[in-house]
Amino acid sequence: MSLEEKVMTEMKDAMKSKNEAALRSLRAIKAEIIKAKTEPGANGQVTAEGELKLLQKMVKQRRDSLEIFEQQQRTDLANKEKEEISVIEKFLPAQLDPSALKTALETIISQTGAGPADLGKVMGIATKQLAGQADGKAISAMVKSLLNP
């Protein structure tokens, strides 16, 4: 089942249960899918990798907004962002906990023989291997701490 089909099924359930937060989030996902399908060169298709990137981008945008709203003490808007993040994350693969992330990055570093100057090399491999399983900021911070003890 494609992401679009899953979203449509969830939208029907959200409409039936009158869950406004879920419905708002699912409509946003659907809009992004449609936008991705109509981009030049997409041929009306979105790959699984494209769907994953799309969802990650949506979560990142909402986290950035959430941070701003919390700084400005706008709890009403911050709560909306939190609700949307939780709905969107249901469609992403399970996130790695910090210890699992550290283990995965240590493996990548040992396989590549990377040193303190090879941050970009490790980041390139790590972001491809851990796509959807960890946030880019978390990967970057962990790689920096492992390469520069």
Who contacts 31 (Cβ-Cβ below 8 Å, separation ≥6)? none
Q: Hey, what are 12's tokens?
A: 């029907």
Residue 103 has pLDDT above 70, yes or no: yes
Q: Does the predicted model carry a pTM greater than 0.85?
A: no
Name the range with the highest mean pLDDT among 25-29, 98-102, 108-112: 25-29
Pick from 56, 19, 52: nearest CA to 135:
56
Task: With beta carbons less than 8 A apart as the criterion, state whether 57 and 90 touch.
Answer: no
Quickly state the pLDDT bin for 149 (edges 50, 70, 90): low
Place of tokens 């679009």: 4
CATH number of 3-89: 1.10.1510.10
Tens digit of each residue's pLDDT (9 = 90 or more) over 38-76: 888 778 788 888 888 888 889 889 999 999 999 999 999
> In three state form, how does the secondary structure of 32-51 look?
HHHHHHCCCCCCCCCCHHHH
What is the separation, in whole angstroms, between the first and last Cα of the chain?
44
Domain boundaries, the chain: 3-89, 98-147
- Topology agreement, domain 3-89 and domain 98-147: no
Q: Which residues of 8-47 are buried (b: 16+ CB within 10 A; e: fewer)?
A: eebbeebeeeebeebbebbebbbebbeebeeeeeeeeebe
Domain covering 98-147 assigned CATH 1.10.10.410 in the classification = yes
- DSSP string for 73-141: T-HHHHHHHHHHHHHHHTTSPPPPPHHHHHHHHHHHHHHHT--TT-HHHHHHHHHHHTTTTS-HHHHHH
